[in-house]
Structure 1
Amino acid sequence: MELLGFMPIRSDIDGGRLKVGCLSAALDRPLPDNATDDMCRHMARIYLLVLIGGILFPDNLGDKVPLLYLHLLRDLKTVGRYSWGSAVLGTLYRNLCDTTSPRARNICRPVLLVQLWTWERMLTLRPNRLEPAHQHHGAYGSRWDVGFDLRNTPRHVLSVF
């Protein structure tokens, strides 16, 4: 309640994890015009938890975020000083190694980074953009937030190579 501004219902908590859908529903409620600083901080923490649980450190289904991250968001002034990129890359590398096990059934974690890296480095696997790539001033991956022509994109990669 103190950090999010609301108390999730019991069914939204699974052990030490919170359903991302519960957080997304909270984001759908707009802030009132007379929102207090605390209300804005609550909304920022909710947004950051959705980002952490849905994109940076997703579980196998991408539908729950460990509540341990909420503690890291207590002081929003220090959040930007954490080495989130290192943590994401470390998690991705560890998961890629774990996935090489014959018992592994799927891959999780931030595989979006692998997809973006692949599109940047392996031109034959890159989908064709409907619009040219322009300078983006946001996140590097936002360069790919355009429409695609997928007709000539390889689907069965092994046969292409």
Structure 2
Amino acid sequence: MIEAAKPPEHSLHDLYRDHRGWLESWLRRRMGNAWDAADLSQDTFLRVLGSSQALVDMREPRAYLLTVGKRLLSNFYTRRSLEQAYLNALAQLPEDCVPSPEQRWILLETLQALDELLDGLPRAVRRAFLWSQLEGLGYREIAERLQVSERTVKRYMAQAYEHCLLVDM
């Protein structure tokens, strides 16, 4: 009887030693910044460390690291875009209404957490939920903006609430 070849077990040390430089170079080419690339490379290996089964099941280490690295890179750019939108909004405020640096940090962290919470929802569902929660719009107003029926908005809101409840578990 022929046994299927078992994937080799990797230690994190070996994985890091053999592939950190390659991953960091790949990230640096995409980001144009060695410091951010080094941070994302470290974050990638921390994610691998957090996934106990990943080291055992890994057949193609570079493909796996690249997948994790791409996700972190996407999150990095999403966060940067969110930060820039927030800074642009702050620039529009009168000087006496500008929050302190501590308040800015808390608000930015809250925005990031909200963005991560709603990640995976279809765009229309996200928009309906955010308009309802942040702008206080009613279902009729949301339906007009999205050019859908109020019944569809109700379904969107139910989907968003369900998503938030399931993510929170």
Higher helix proportion, which one? Answer: 2
TM-score by length of structure 2 reads 0.31
Indicate the structure (1 or 2) with the bigger Cα radius of gyration: 2
